[in-house]
Amino acid sequence: MEKKVRVLVAKPGLDGHDRGALVIAQALRDEGMEVVYTGLRQTPAQIVNAAIQEDVDCIGLSCLSGAHNELFPEVVRLLRLEKADDILVVGGGVIPQEDIPFLESQGIARVFTPGTPSKECADFIRKHVKGKRMSFPEPPGKIAHIGIAVKSIDTALPFYTDKLGLSLLGREEVESEQVRIAFLGVGETRLELLEPLSDTSPIATFIAKRGEGIHHIAFDVDDIHARLARLKEDGVALINEEPKPGAHQAQVAFIHPKASGGVLYELCQYPVKNEEEQ
């Protein structure tokens, strides 16, 4: 599951108006974030403590009192002191345009002026939240399988079964990829022997270019949509931006080998963790 972005909306300083802060808090909730509001008149130290305790990804500072040039940088400074500067800090409120470059130079990632659409604030926060708490999916837990391109399964198979003693778990044809597959079990992982069904098969192209051998490595993931979205956002070249059906009723997508030093990686999400299907 994609983790929700957690935001602390905080009001440093002495002004007693929190309608704007409450509005932005609600708007970020509507954008699917978890929002904690500190209440009025918090000191920078109180805000930083609350942010660490609440384990937030972002602090949104709102200030109307005019003291933003002292208070906002102080929050950033204390975060650094607490080694919590992976928390993104953004600001808003009544901030004169000419103060914004100074605030940004002090580590405020963005200052939103009144009237900025809340969607724009939310998009900015989502995109810039640092660390791995945000929508960064859990790392792949294991290698689902290793795909090996062969000209003929019947020719290649005896090495695996007779010489290595691996058991043949099954065979399958994936029409859309023009490929026939034999599955061999190695603990939790499988080897997949991939034989082209026709010259138009990507496996046929691969063998023609590079000969038989390792074709791809597949990671077992449980959040393929979120992961693809994140990779795309990070500028990683993808062969498939959307998952497509693969063998074993899995949803699969390939990362472009130019993003990964020439290795073709597949993301593979299985429908249910059913022992027989693994």
Give the distance between the most distant pair of CA atoms in the chain.
79
Q: Give residue 250's identity as a one-letter amino acid code.
A: A
User: In this structure, what is the dihedral angle of CA atoms 212, 214, 216, 219, given to the nearest 10 degrees?
Assistant: 150
Stretch that binds Zn ion, among 5-13, 64-72, 88-96, 211-219 (CB under 5 A): 211-219
- Size of site (CB under 5 A) for Zn ion: 3
- With 0-12 / 13-18 / 19 or more C-beta atoms within 10 angstroms meaning exposed / middle / buried, residue 184 is buried
Decide: is 12 part of the binding site for Zn ion (CB under 5 A): no
Nearer to Zn ion by Cβ, of 66 and 170: the residue is 170
Encoded one letter per residue, x for contact with Zn ion by CB under 5 A and - for no contact, window 166-195 reads ------------------------------
Lookup: tokens for 214: 């390792």
Lookup: tokens for 191: 């080897």
- Shortest distance, CB of residue 250 to Zn ion, whole angstroms? 8
Strands of 213-220's sheet in order across: 167-174, 179-186, 189-196, 142-149, 213-220, 265-269, 251-255, 244-245
* Interacting residue with Zn ion among 157, 255, 266, 270 (CB under 5 A): 266
Q: Are 261 and 255 in contact (CB under 8 A)?
A: no
Nearer to Zn ion by Cβ, of 60 and 147: the residue is 147
Stretch that binds Zn ion, among 174-182, 212-220, 224-232, 256-264 (CB under 5 A): 212-220
Nearer to Zn ion by Cβ, of 15 and 172: the residue is 172
Angle 199-201-203 from CA coordinates, rounded to 5°: 105
Stretch that binds Zn ion, among 151-159, 167-175, 202-210, 213-221 (CB under 5 A): 213-221
Length of the chain, in residues: 278
Stretch that binds Zn ion, among 22-30, 58-66, 117-125, 264-272 (CB under 5 A): 264-272
Stretch that binds Zn ion, among 134-142, 145-153, 160-168, 257-265 (CB under 5 A): 145-153
- Shortest distance, CB of residue 145 to Zn ion, whole angstroms? 6
Nearer to Zn ion by Cβ, of 91 and 147: the residue is 147
Decide: is 147 part of the binding site for Zn ion (CB under 5 A): yes
The alpha-helical segments, DSSP class H, found in 17-162 are 19-30, 44-53, 68-81, 100-105, 118-128, 153-158
CA pair distance 278, 275, nearest whole angstrom: 5
Nearer to Zn ion by Cβ, of 129 and 218: the residue is 218
In our burial notation (b when 16+ CB lie closer than 10 A, e otherwise), range 143-155 reads bbbbbbbbeebee
* Interacting residue with Zn ion among 182, 218, 255, 264 (CB under 5 A): 218
Nearer to Zn ion by Cβ, of 220 and 266: the residue is 266
Stretch that binds Zn ion, among 12-20, 69-77, 144-152, 156-164 (CB under 5 A): 144-152
Q: Any idea which residue has 């138009």 for tokens? A: 200
- Shortest distance, CB of residue 239 to Zn ion, whole angstroms? 12
Residues 92-121 that bind Zn ion (CB under 5 A): none
Under the rule (CB under 5 A), what is the footprint of Zn ion? 147, 218, 266
